[in-house]
């Protein structure tokens, strides 16, 4: 069985062809970074319009890589939650159109769950049961993952997501967009102990929530005091930027690692899955890798190319197809942007 998977939840337009043995036959991603760069963040209306222009060529590209045509497809899957409303609508409308025109079953993908399923694609069934940590531009959440169709929300950010904090702090430091890779590069030359930034809730094992907005403000105050109007009130020396980037990155990584450990202790599980754009970060990957072996913990981090948004991870739809969880054509989007809502991103069935 060949599945066509569409992904348009935020600012990447992506399509993949994956078979029911989870073999990737084709995968194409069109990044919109260049369109959003000057705003230092994703502008929803620009994103949705760009998806409209790109979705058909991207589907075409994935099919050509797979050396297949539309006639070879057995199902169409689409990420319908969570994400930006306009962006989600483009993917959903394209998927429904294909499902009707080709008379194929329509499958729904939860984008956040898919970020964790990237670990299943890369490492096999051994990844369950586990604790799942999703760290992306829009989400920072912990799940108890009993199996590929059973993700129970344990906690999440109450304000900014980890990737959002990387993007905003990169803006404060005058670094490029997206901020994560830019901060990672700057941090290589910096001293992570130069500034002691806050690590919210890090010692509180009773709550599996995150908060990154205070950290972001602390970086801002380090650059220009609370009463200073302009953030760029003074030019920053290159070594200062490097030290600020390294100290900020270390604070985020400390919190993510500590909370993942709290979640493992709370659930009694010993396997940790990590996915999402921030999981591409080398420092985070190193610190998570160090957990493996200690107290019997096994850590599976999604391969870098499956961390940032892509359609391959939407192969979680294979599980839904096998379980008979096919959607009707009234499937709708669920933007699900309410922070901390345990039901965020639950698909209809
Ligand atoms: O998963 P993703 O592509 O999109 C969402 O679902 O949100 O994540 C994008 C986020 C951005 O905030 C970006 O700055 C961050 O992932 N990111 C990184 C790195 N690469 C991407 N953060 C830290 N280090 C990186 N190397
Ligand atoms: Zn994502």
Q: Which atom of ligand 1 is nearest to 112's Cα?
A: 6
State the average pLDDT over residues 300-310: 98
Give the list of residues 6+ apart from residue 58 with CB closer than 8 angstroms, or none: 13, 14, 15, 28, 29, 30
CA of 83 to the centre of ligand 1 (A): 14
Query: What DSSP letter does each residue of 223-290 carry, written as one string?
Result: HS-TT-S-GGGSPPPHHHHHHHHHHHHHHHHHHHHHHHHHHHHHHT--EEEEESGGGG-HHHHHHHHT
CA of 20 to the centre of ligand 2 (A): 23
pLDDT of residue 296: 85
Average pLDDT across the chain, whole number: 94
Mind spelling out the 3-state secondary structure of 155-204? EEECCCCHHHHHHHHHHHCCCCCCHHHHHHHHHCCCCCCCCCCCCCCCCC
% the chain with pLDDT above 70: 94
pLDDT of residue 346: 44
Q: Which of 26-30, 154-158, 290-294 has the lowest mean pLDDT?
A: 290-294
Pocket of ligand 1 (CB under 6 A): 10, 136-138, 163-164, 166-167, 178-181, 184, 276-278, 280-281, 308-309
* H or E element at residue 78: strand 75-81
**Which residues surround the ion ligand 2 when the cut-off is CB under 5 Å?**
136, 309
Among 121, 118, 116, 120, CA closest to 131: 116
Rounded to a whole number of angstroms, the CA Rg of the chain reads: 20
Look at ligand 1, atom 7, and give the residue with the nearest C-alpha.
Answer: 137
Q: Tell me which DSSP letter residue 132 carries.
A: E
pLDDT band at 345 (very low <50, low <70, confident <90, very high): very low
CA gap 298, 317 in Å, rounded: 25
Say which ligand is closest to the CA of 135.
1
Q: Which of 96-105, 157-166, 224-233 has the lowest mean pLDDT?
A: 224-233
CA of 308 to the centre of ligand 2 (A): 6
% the chain with pLDDT above 90: 87
pLDDT digits over 187-224, tens only? 999 999 999 999 999 999 889 999 999 999 999 999 98
Higher pLDDT, 291 or 300: 300
Q: Which atom of ligand 1 is nearest to 166's Cα?
A: 14
Q: Which of 10-19, 180-189, 223-232, 237-246 has the lowest mean pLDDT?
A: 223-232
pLDDT of residue 224: 86
Tell whether pTM > 0.85. Answer: yes
């Amino acid at each position: 069985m060949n599945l066509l998977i569409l992904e348009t939840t935020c600012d990447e337009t992506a399509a993949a062809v994956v078979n029911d043995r989870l073999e990737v036959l084709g995968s194409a991603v069109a990044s919109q970074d260049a369109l959003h760069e000057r705003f230092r963040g994703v502008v929803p209306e620009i994103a949705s319009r760009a998806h409209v222009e790109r979705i058909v060529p991207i589907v075409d590209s994935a099919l050509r890589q797979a050396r297949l045509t539309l006639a070879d497809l057995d199902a169409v899957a689409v990420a319908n939650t969570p994400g930006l409303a306009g962006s989600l609508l483009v993917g959903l409308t394209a998927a429904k159109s294909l499902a009707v025109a080709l008379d194929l079953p329509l499958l729904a993908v939860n984008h956040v769950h898919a970020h964790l399923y990237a670990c299943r694609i890369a490492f096999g069934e051994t990844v369950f049961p586990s604790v799942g940590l999703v760290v992306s531009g829009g989400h920072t959440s912990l799940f108890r993952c009993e199996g590929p169709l059973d993700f129970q929300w344990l906690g999440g950010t109450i304000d900014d997501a980890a990737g959002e904090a990387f993007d905003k702090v990169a803006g404060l430091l005058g670094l490029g967009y997206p901020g994560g890779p830019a901060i990672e590069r700057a941090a290589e030359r910096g001293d992570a102990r130069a500034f002691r930034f806050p690590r919210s809730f890090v010692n509180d094992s009773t709550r599996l929530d995150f908060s990154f907005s205070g950290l972001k403000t602390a970086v801002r105050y380090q650059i220009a005091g609370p009463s200073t109007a302009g953030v760029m009130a003074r030019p920053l020396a290159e070594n200062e930027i490097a030290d600020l980037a390294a100290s900020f990155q270390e604070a985020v990584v400390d919190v993510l690692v500590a909370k993942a450990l709290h979640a493992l202790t709370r659930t009694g599980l010993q396997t940790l899955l990590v996915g999402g754009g921030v999981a591409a970060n080398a420092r985070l990957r190193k610190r998570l890798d160090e957990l493996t072996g200690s107290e019997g913990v096994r850590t599976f981090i999604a391969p870098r190319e499956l961390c940032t948004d892509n359609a391959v991870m939407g192969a979680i739809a294979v599980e839904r197809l096998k379980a008979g969880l096919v959607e009707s054509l009234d499937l709708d989007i669920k933007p699900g942007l309410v922070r901390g809502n345990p039901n965020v991103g639950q698909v209809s069935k």
